[in-house]
Amino acid sequence: MELKQAKQRFGIIGNDNQLERAIQVALQVAQTDISVLIYGESGTGKESIPQIIHHNSRRKHNNFIAVNCGAIPEGTIDSELFGHEKGSFTGANEVRKGYFESANNGTIFLDEIAELPLASQARLLRVLENGEFIKVGSSKTQKTDVRIIAATNVNMQEHIKKGKFREDLYYRLNTISIQLPPLRKRQEDIHLLFRKFANDFAEKYNTPPIQLKEKAVELLKKYRWPGNIRQLKNFVAQISVMEKERTISSDSLELYLPNSMSNTPMLYNDKEKADLSEREILYKVLFDMKKDLTDLKKITYNLINKSNSSVVDPEESKNIFKDVSNLEKESKEIKESDGNIIEIEENLSLMQQEKKLIIKALNKHKDRRKDAASELGISERTLYRKIKEFEI
């Protein structure tokens, strides 16, 4: 199949070089069984590439199954992908085939592959390495011959660094990678897509298609389109319904474009304000931590000065206070981009010591929260929150 035929058959609109390169790679690898990983932002049309690969491969007469890994609950995804035996878990009333069994000799497309749980990733790696899988609740190994195509809209290297995705699985999937460009980098295609969606909508609802004036076309091209093609399609539908005039000016078009998401570069002053806001948030966190430290010191002082306490050992209380005092010496430095240094106080035993004091106060007053809170020097509401937080 030629490039032009593929675009016509699968409804792909646009002449962008990177888009056409992605289609050509898909056509080239279709005759092999090599695994393919498709990259692209949400809404860029990643689902078209697996269709092109499958329908131009030797597997085209067998099943093509598309699975959104992010839409299946973690507790059931293994059952969905690999099937399960009767009685393997609550609600498993019969034997069920999974997608890998149903797609035997065909193609399976795993969208949002980065959302796949780590345990399921290990199962998938086994399929890729030797074509084997085991149903949930079974000990019998089964074989499957499936071509796997995956897609993601996240940075997979970052996911690997964070321990959210297996590196060995990534390299097995990423034998061939195909990158789909975002709509903002396909400026000349934006108006083509707009007219296609406008004509489709007009035909569906038997109305004249909307058209854009020259300045409106320029405005359309300058917009960032964070939701890509999906957003543009919904945008055209909205204007087609709301606007009585069928020829749209730039002023009318601008009313439908969210200003906060435009493609206009951020001014220096705006960036400075944004950085300042982040710094203010950081300082607020630090001040809150300082306030908690001060409150804890007060609690410790109160406990030390309670001469009639039959529960808290004065010597132990002094040791606790010593630990709290040392908190100011145990700090780590966070350097901001402007070179400023912020000290964040930390002590890993602080929460445990606070929990101990609360438990002892509650025991002393036989779980009477009002009396315990009074002795601790905090409000009853704060004590209740701490009890929930520490699961006392």
pLDDT in tens, the chain (392 residues): 789 999 999 999 999 999 999 999 999 999 999 999 999 999 999 999 999 999 999 999 999 999 999 999 888 999 999 999 988 888 888 999 999 999 999 999 999 999 999 999 999 999 999 999 999 999 999 999 999 999 999 999 999 999 999 999 999 999 999 999 999 999 999 999 999 999 999 999 888 999 999 999 999 999 999 999 999 999 999 999 988 899 999 999 999 888 644 444 434 344 433 333 444 455 455 555 555 566 665 665 565 555 444 454 555 555 555 555 554 444 444 444 444 444 444 444 556 777 888 888 888 888 888 888 887 878 777 887 788 777 78
* In the chain, domain spans: 3-181, 187-261, 268-390
Architecture of domain 3-181: 3-Layer(aba) Sandwich (3.40)
Helix (H) or strand (E) holding 341: strand 341-345
Torsions phi, psi for 148 (to 5 deg): -105, 125
Q: How many CA atoms lie within 13 Å of 316's alpha carbon, on the beta-carbon side?
A: 11
Helix (H, G, I), strand (E, B) or coil at 179: strand
Torsional sign, CA 81, 83, 89, 94 = positive
Fold of 187-261: Helicase, Ruva Protein; domain 3 (1.10.8)
Stated pTM of the model: 0.65
CA-CA distances (angstroms) from residue 269 to 273, 279, 283? 6, 15, 21
C-alpha 152/C-alpha 210 separation (Å) is 34
